[in-house]
């Protein structure tokens, strides 16, 4: 994945507050960035933070998880096994739009005089609030207030409360509330066939009006998905004249027009409810019934109840998930924003994937990648396990596609896609996709972690074991034994995309080993299910034998693990003479040259130090971290958090804090100048992991959780929660002590450095933090690729 532009050193773009993200004023040049930051979603529906009136805008965005258009995959030269069709997220009919006419002048922030403009994303209420004071070109002064939500409690519902106040003069107000299909995507494709499909992917099927409600039904041209968007309205005015409402609909537009005359001091209020749904099999009439019923039910509940439900759901989430950071206000804000984004991207996904840009941007064409299981799922498992389970069940539902793909590649078991929306491979560049088989072990690792953390053996029986078995079978068919009996996995690509088709990638081999052992253990926990999958003792023994014989290369001369066999013998990339303008490297140099040199795009061997932490000694981690720091250029948003974790583990707390600062401000400060495409969900998840696994030293294994906390100098206190088997454990760390409090449920044993600690509900245990050993000199990075200093990043 290429998601790094130039690194900006701009300061804070939003007000610093512990529970909100707000911007005063309006900068048209930064609208697209604002729209990503202020976007709302629930894992099913996503609305970018566009202005209510629709214009000006950076990128229009109204998405439904799983709705895409299919298009041909053009190749200059065809090859066996190349995917023949691709998938691209599209805009569903956009129900955000509320246009306003003041007398005969349209409300337009770029015309007239904008006296005041402010937007505020409330992380506790889950609402986006907007205020605007505006004087029209004809000197009519109004104040506009809007609040919108995408409901966490009602999966298909988004809602807006829109108020217009007359400040001066008697004013004729016209509000036009719309749902608009085929809003343009920010995608220009070189193949005119693909561009034509993506320009107008929705074909009208039905348009219906009942009173003040309207429903549009569309179908995608090629993927054959039916989409329904319903809306309804209520309007009141504070003056003596009630507003009138007229609703109309056609395949190209549904609109409710509200008209009222306001005297100075009076206001009109519009409540807009929008329901969304889609299906590949349900009839248009049934889909219409579902969305209209959801809207009607939300209407009976009323606006206040919708807002109360939203707050209640977030209160429940924050009770465990909240991270408290004392000493750094910007970090406090950033970590809560990161957790909010992870939560809203997935909480109601329910048997759907989570795109790497969530549902508030179309970056990467709406695809999900390996980084969801590797980076996001561990956070959900620890803070919102039901959401984690649902997405893992989505992966399980795609097993037929994964089996088909493995068969096409002449392999056994299942091979999951590198990038996808519906479970089919959508990447045409095979060295960085098909060859990146580690995704299968990443999925298996997520399954194993989820089962350990939750004790959800029903999931393990119903879905988890089957995924573990099929991925284990993949490794057995992909690997080979040498004459001495060692098990090798040749010709694969690890997480680092500046290396490809290498032998014995250490990360891949270690994760495959965990996969094989975990599959065998799971099969023995559920022998009846294993038998239905055709697993016998002989196959289990083969898995365990291969795991024991897994080749893990080590460079005896340099005293480090090579990223893959022979990697440390390759020429070093000339980093000293690589200019800042030549990053990211893949945009300025051929992959052929990158693949044969020692240069790392993102943490690969260093990621193995974290994910397979038990496979390395402390000394091996220290040497490997220092070695790979010098050649890692971080041309990926995924790298900084991982480097923060290992830097903290090897005692480089200041360096770890700088990496955390970079990860935490990535989207809020638009460091890579591409946040307009949507937030980096995996990188945001990495903020939580850098704190909990980095500075709290949390590690997960078959023996349970272990903590080894040490705080950086700029943080005086750190507190967070994790879910363990349905219980909440709060961890509170200061410079000298760590306190563990099990909130409820049966007793739990955790590790504190080398000690085991028994915890009982309601009884906090406070322990001393042992004195740290000297960490040695700070490792160096390539010239110009040092992490953003925390002092700069957290400047208020």
- Just list the catalytic residues: 497
- Please identify which residue in the block is written with the tokens 């959801």: 294
Do residues 359 and 43 lie in contact, with contact meaning Cβ atoms separated by under 8 Å? yes
Identify the CA nearest to 280 among candidates 208, 352, 349: 352
The answer for residues whose C-beta is within 8 angstroms of residue 431's C-beta and 6 or more apart is 493, 500, 501, 591, 595
Give the tokens for residue 21: 């993200």
Buried b (16+ CB within 10 A) or exposed e, 568-577: bebeebebee
**CA separation for the pair 109, 28 (Å, rounded):** 10
Do residues 101 and 174 lie in contact, with contact meaning Cβ atoms separated by under 8 Å? yes
Strands 171-179 and 253-262: antiparallel
The answer for residues whose C-beta is within 8 angstroms of residue 101's C-beta and 6 or more apart is 107, 173, 174, 175, 176
Concatenated DSSP letters for 273-302? EEEEEEESSS-HHHHHHHHHHHHHHHHHH-
- β partners of residue 213: 210
- β partners of residue 745: none
3-state SS of 34-77?
Answer: HHHHCCEECCCEEECCCCCCCCCCCCCCEEECCCEEEEECCCCC
Identify the CA nearest to 702 among candidates 523, 445, 473, 528: 445
Residue 490 zone, left/alpha/beta (φ > 0; ψ -120 to 50; rest): beta
Give the tokens for residue 475: 């490794």
**CA separation for the pair 347, 380 (Å, rounded):** 9
Do residues 657 and 782 lie in contact, with contact meaning Cβ atoms separated by under 8 Å? no
Note the residue count of the chain.
796
| Residue 509 C-alpha from the chain's centroid | 26
Indicate the DSSP class of residue 190.
S
Indicate the DSSP class of residue 423.
S
End-to-end CA distance of the chain: 32
**CA separation for the pair 146, 54 (Å, rounded):** 13
For 168, other C-beta atoms within 10 Å of its C-beta total 12
Indicate the DSSP class of residue 576.
T
Give the tokens for residue 234: 């209520």
Buried b (16+ CB within 10 A) or exposed e, 10-44: eebbbebbebbbebeebeeebbbbbbbbbbbbbbb
CA quadruple 710, 712, 713, 715: dihedral sign: negative
Give the tokens for residue 156: 């298909």
| Residue 328 C-alpha from the chain's centroid | 24
State the Cα torsion 444-445-446-449 to the nearest 10°. Answer: 130
Q: Does an H or E element contain 791, and which?
A: helix 790-793
Identify the CA nearest to 259 among candidates 95, 100, 94: 100
Q: Does an H or E element contain 147, and which?
A: strand 141-150
């Amino acid at each position: 994945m290429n998601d790094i532009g130039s690194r900006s050193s701009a300061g804070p773009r939003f007000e610093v507050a512990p529970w909100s993200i707000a911007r005063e004023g309006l900068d048209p040049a930064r609208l697209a960035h604002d729209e990503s930051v202020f976007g709302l979603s629930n894992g099913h529906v996503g609305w970018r933070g566009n202005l209510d009136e629709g214009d000006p805008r950076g990128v229009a965005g109204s998405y439904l998880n799983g709705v895409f258009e299919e298009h041909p995959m053009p190749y200059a030269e065809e090859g066996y096994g190349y995917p023949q069709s691709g998938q691209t997220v599209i805009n569903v009919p956009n129900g955000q739009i509320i246009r306003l006419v003041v007398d005969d002048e349209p409300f337009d922030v770029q015309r007239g005089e904008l006296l005041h403009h402010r937007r505020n994303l409330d992380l506790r209420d889950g609402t986006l609030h907007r205020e605007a004071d505006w004087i029209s070109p004809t000197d009519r002064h109004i104040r506009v207030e809007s609040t919108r939500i995408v409901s966490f409690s009602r999966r298909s519902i988004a809602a807006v409360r829109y108020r217009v106040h007359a400040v001066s003069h008697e004013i004729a107000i016209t509000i036009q509330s719309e749902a608009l299909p085929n809003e343009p995507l920010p995608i220009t494709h070189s193949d005119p066939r693909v561009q034509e499909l993506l320009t107008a992917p929705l074909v009208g099927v039905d348009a219906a009006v009942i009173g003040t409600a309207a429903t549009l039904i569309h179908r995608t041209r090629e993927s054959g998905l039916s989409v329904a968007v319903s809306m309804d309205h209520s309007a009141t005015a504070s003056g003596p004249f009630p507003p009138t409402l007229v609703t109309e609909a056609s395949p190209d537009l549904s609109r409710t027009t509200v008209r009222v005359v306001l005297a100075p001091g009076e206001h009109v209020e519009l409540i807009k409810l929008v329901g969304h749904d889609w299906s590949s099999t349900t009839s248009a009439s049934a889909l219409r019934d579902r969305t209209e019923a959801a809207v009607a039910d939300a209407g009976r509940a009323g606006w206040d109840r919708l807002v109360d439900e939203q707050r209640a759901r977030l209160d429940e989430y924050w009770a465990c998930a909240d991270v408290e950071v004392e000493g750094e206000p910007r970090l406090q804000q950033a970590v809560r924003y990161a957790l909010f984004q992870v939560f809203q991207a997935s909480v109601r996904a329910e048997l759907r994937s989570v795109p790497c840009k969530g549902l508030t941007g179309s970056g990467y064409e709406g695809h999900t990648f390996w980084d969801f299981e590797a980076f996001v799922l561990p956070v959900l498992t620890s803070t919102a396990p039901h959401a984690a389970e649902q997405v893992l069940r989505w992966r399980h539902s795609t097993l037929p596609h994964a089996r088909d793909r493995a068969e096409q590649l002449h392999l056994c078991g299942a091979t999951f896609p590198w990038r996808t929306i519906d479970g089919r491979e959508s990447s045409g560049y095979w060295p960085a996709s098909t060859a990146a088989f580690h995704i299968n072990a990443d999925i298996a690792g997520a399954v194993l972690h989820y089962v350990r953390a939750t004790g959800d053996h029903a999931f393990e029986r119903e879905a988890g074991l089957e995924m573990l078995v099929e991925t284990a079978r993949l490794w057995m068919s992909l690997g080979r034994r040498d004459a001495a009996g060692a098990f090798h996995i040749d010709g694969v690509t690890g997480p680092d995309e500046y290396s490809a088709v290498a032998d014995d990638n250490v990360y891949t081999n270690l994760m495959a080993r965990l996969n094989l052992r975990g599959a065998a253990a799971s099969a023995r926990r559920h022998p009846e299910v294993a038998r239905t999958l055709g697993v016998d003792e002989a196959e289990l023994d083969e898995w365990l034998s291969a795991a024991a014989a897994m080749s893990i290369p080590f460079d005896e001369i340099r005293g480090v693990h090579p990223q893959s066999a022979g990697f440390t013998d390759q020429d070093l990339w000339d980093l000293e003479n690589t200019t800042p303008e030549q990053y990211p490297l893949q945009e300025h140099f051929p992959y052929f040259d990158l693949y044969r040199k020692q240069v790392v795009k993102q943490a690969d061997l260093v990621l193995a130090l974290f994910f397979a932490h038990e496979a390395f000694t402390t000394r091996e981690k220290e040497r490997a971290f220092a070695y790979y720091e010098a050649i890692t250029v971080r041309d990926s948003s995924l790298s900084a958090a991982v480097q923060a974790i290992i830097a903290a583990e090897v005692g480089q707390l200041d360096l770890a804090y700088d990496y955390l600062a970079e990860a935490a401000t990535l989207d809020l400060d638009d460091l890579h100048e591409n946040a307009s495409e949507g937030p980096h969900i995996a990188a945001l998840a990495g903020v939580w992991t850098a704190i909990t696994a980095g500075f709290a030293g949390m590690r997960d294994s078959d023996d349970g959780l272990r903590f080894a906390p040490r705080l950086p100098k700029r943080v005086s206190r750190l507190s967070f929660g994790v879910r363990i088997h349905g219980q909440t454990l709060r961890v509170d760390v200061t410079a000298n002590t760590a306190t563990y409090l099990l909130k409820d449920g049966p007793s739990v044993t955790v590790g504190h450095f080398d000690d085991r600690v028994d915890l009982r509900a309601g009884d906090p245990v406070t322990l001393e933090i042992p004195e740290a050993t000297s960490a040695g000199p700070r490792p160096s990075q390539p010239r110009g690729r040092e992490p953003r200093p925390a002092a700069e990043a957290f400047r208020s």
